[in-house]
Amino acid sequence: MFTSDYITFMLLTGSILLLWMHVGFMLVEFGYGKPKHLGNAIIKHILIVSVSTLAFLLLGYGFMFGTDLYDGLIGTPNFGFWIINHKTKNVQFFILFQVMLATLTPAIMSGVIGNRMKLQAILLYSFVASALIFPIVGHWSWGGGWLSHLPVAFHDFGGASIIHITGGCLGLIASLLLGPRLGRYRIGKVPLKVENRVSYTLSGLFFIVSAWLGLLSGVGFSLDGISTVSFYHHILFASIISAVMSAISALLLSFILNKKIRRTLGIKGAIAGLVSISAGCDVVSLWSAVLIGLITGIVVTLSIDLFKKKLHIDDKIGAISVHAVSGILGVLLTGFFSEKTGLLFGFGSAQLISQSIGVVCTLSWTLIIGLFSLEMIKLYTGLRLSAKDELKDVDSSLRDS
């Protein structure tokens, strides 16, 4: 058991590093945009963090960590503001860390729909994500809900389903309702080449990787301040190995398919490798992390091309594939590669079944609530920027007076 000061240090450091992830998201988004997009991206992410924090403290914290209702489907809502003033130092830092996690789901979503969705709609959608979607899915496993009471408990150590599947799926729904950016596809649905500033995207990758280490440093602590793991070195090594192998396999496959290396696929592959290993980084071996990374790089490369060229879904930075698809893959692969309960280690299919149930329920809840909320937002504010604002790449509500 760790000392109180050590727990405080880990949670505080993790919270600070998670803020860096938003810097990484902004740089990646800017890498796929034009110079005048930078101001929009910065203010959008600042407002997303602010709105998501408020939503989680008001409603999400109770839904996620409150006493079980309806056999673990949801926690008791308790308006988290008053809880903060009545808890120990470590629990306050635990809440702060969870707040930072809650801001990631809407940030992932926003990367999909950049430069074509109204700011008001993005912020309302972010509120729903951090108040209802992330915390309720989180309660099912992290909060001791029904998924943790299956015969073999659902396992998602680092939030592959709770953060990444939800964020990617919310982006998918929004992209489908909004349609592609103006001029994104030529006649015949051939996607136009999008300019990419690799230096910004690569800088964003390093911020995201640094923040990921912060996420893993704090996610193992329970509400009472007791760590559920004692071997963080293994978790960190497994995560980095998966990211590296995923980047390598994505680059190799892109060369095989296109006879040239698509540099951005290496960046997307690395992030996808981090997403997929997050589910089981505490229960898989380092050799399994190598295989998970290799598989993820192949799948994410094929998925990006599928969404862009076949399904014609406009995903500005590839977040649907990198987060949702890789998250699904990682959760399912945990059912195969877990050294404690995995199918490939002679423990039968029970873990894989639990993982599959978790994926299906996460997708169902996210898609249903996400679609309903967007339809309501559409009636209230509308969703898409005017053609004039979109062509100018500026939301008129963000203009300086």
81-132 per-position pLDDT tens digit? 656 665 667 778 888 899 999 999 999 999 898 778 999 999 999 999 999 9
pLDDT digit string, tens, across residues 301-322: 999 999 988 888 988 889 999 9
- 318: tokens are 């590839």
Q: How confident is the model at residue 80 (pLDDT cuts 50, 70, 90)?
A: low
Distance between CA 21 and CA 36 in Å, rounded? 22
* pLDDT for res 37: 65
Q: How confident is the model at residue 295 (pLDDT cuts 50, 70, 90)?
A: very high
Distance between CA 296 and CA 247 in Å, rounded? 9
pLDDT digit string, tens, across residues 107-121: 999 989 877 899 999
Q: pTM of the predicted model, to two decimals?
A: 0.93
* pLDDT for res 285: 94
Q: Which CATH class is domain 4-386?
A: mainly alpha
- The average pLDDT across 260-289 equals 92
Of 172, 202, 186, give the one whose Cα is nearest residue 306: 172
Residue 61 has pLDDT above 50, yes or no: yes
Greatest extent of the chain over all pairs of C-alpha atoms, in Å: 66
Q: What angle do CA 393, 267, 254 make, to 5 degrees?
A: 105
* pLDDT for res 224: 47
* pLDDT for res 227: 54
Contact 43, 398 (CB under 8 A): yes
Q: What angle do CA 261, 264, 265 make, to 5 degrees?
A: 70
- 18: tokens are 């998670």
* 143 or 399, higher pLDDT: 143
- 180: tokens are 């592609």
Output phi, psi for 340, to 5 deg. Answer: -95, -35
Residue 377 has pLDDT above 90, yes or no: yes
DSSP assignment of 125-168: HHHHIIIIIHHHHHHHHTTS-GGGGSSS----SS-IIIIIIHHH
- 95: tokens are 């809440």
* pLDDT for res 401: 40
Torsion sign over Cα 389, 392, 397, 401:
negative
Contact 366, 166 (CB under 8 A): yes
* pLDDT for res 190: 52
Distance between CA 144 and CA 396 in Å, rounded? 44
Distance between CA 97 and CA 347 in Å, rounded? 34
- The average pLDDT across 21-44 equals 81
Q: How confident is the model at residue 161 (pLDDT cuts 50, 70, 90)?
A: very high
Of 354, 349, 301, give the one whose Cα is nearest residue 325: 301
* pLDDT for res 400: 47
* 51 or 32, higher pLDDT: 51
Residue 397 has pLDDT above 60, yes or no: no
Cβ atoms within 10 Å of 95's Cβ, excluding its own: 21
When the pLDDT of each residue in the chain is averaged and rounded to a whole number, the result is 87
Cβ atoms within 10 Å of 273's Cβ, excluding its own: 33
Which 3 state secondary structure label does DSSP give 384?
Answer: strand
Instruction: List the end-to-end C-alpha distance of the chain, in Å, as a whole number.
Output: 55
Distance between CA 232 and CA 238 in Å, rounded? 10
